Amino acid sequence: MRLNNKGFAITGILYFVLIMFLMIISSLLLVLKTRINRLTDLNTTINEEVELKEKIVDEPIDSYITSFRGKYIFEITDSTGVKTCYSYLPNNALIVLQEGAIKYKIPTLDSNGNYVLDRNDLSGVSNLSLYDGYNSCNNNNITAAKIISIASSVNS
């Protein structure tokens, strides 16, 4: 009996292609699994380092000096209704609800690199800057604003 060498060669090539395809698919799955594990570890690390510093409920702001560097979550009432907005602010920043808009004064840096607000110079609140750092919220025609909560890193 004689073996057909053409069929043996084609079968060898097909099995080689099948094995290579399976190796490529398994390596892609391994890369994706490693990536999702890294993202999960990063997310866990960030959640451990950021904590809720203060939970302030129903405290309207006319003027407020930030006590932490971090994410300030506001509840803003304007002509279209009530919205939840957030802003990232440094320590000792002055926030004022003035003329239907939220305005601010960013503190200056001292010689040690700390943010310092000159509390004696609060007379110049009439020429504060208009703050446009709110997420998806319009900063005009605001009738009331409340700070709902503050999230900051453990080290700030």
pLDDT by residue (tens digit) across 50-59? 666 666 655 6
Residue with tokens 């084609």: 10
Contacts of 28 (CB under 8 A, 6+ apart): none
Cβ neighbours, 10 Å, residue 93: 20
- Please tell me the pTM assigned to this model: 0.55
Give the pLDDT confidence of 50-96 residue by residue, as tens digits. Answer: 666 666 655 677 778 787 788 888 888 888 888 888 888 877 777 88
**Mean of pLDDT values over 28-40:** 95
DSSP 76-117: EEETTEEEEEEEEE-TT-EEEEETTEEEEEPPEE-TTS-EE-
Considering only CA atoms, which of 156, 148, 154, 153 is closest in space to residue 55? Answer: 148
Residue 116: band (very low, low, confident or very high) from pLDDT cuts 50, 70, 90: low
**H/E element holding 75?**
strand 70-78
Quick one: how many helices (H) and strands (E) in the chain? 1, 10
Q: What are phi and psi of 155, to 5 degrees?
A: -90, 0
Q: What is the pLDDT of residue 68?
A: 78
Please name the residues in contact with 27: beta carbons below 8 A apart, sequence gap of 6 or more. Answer: none
Neighbours of 58 (CB within 10 A): 7
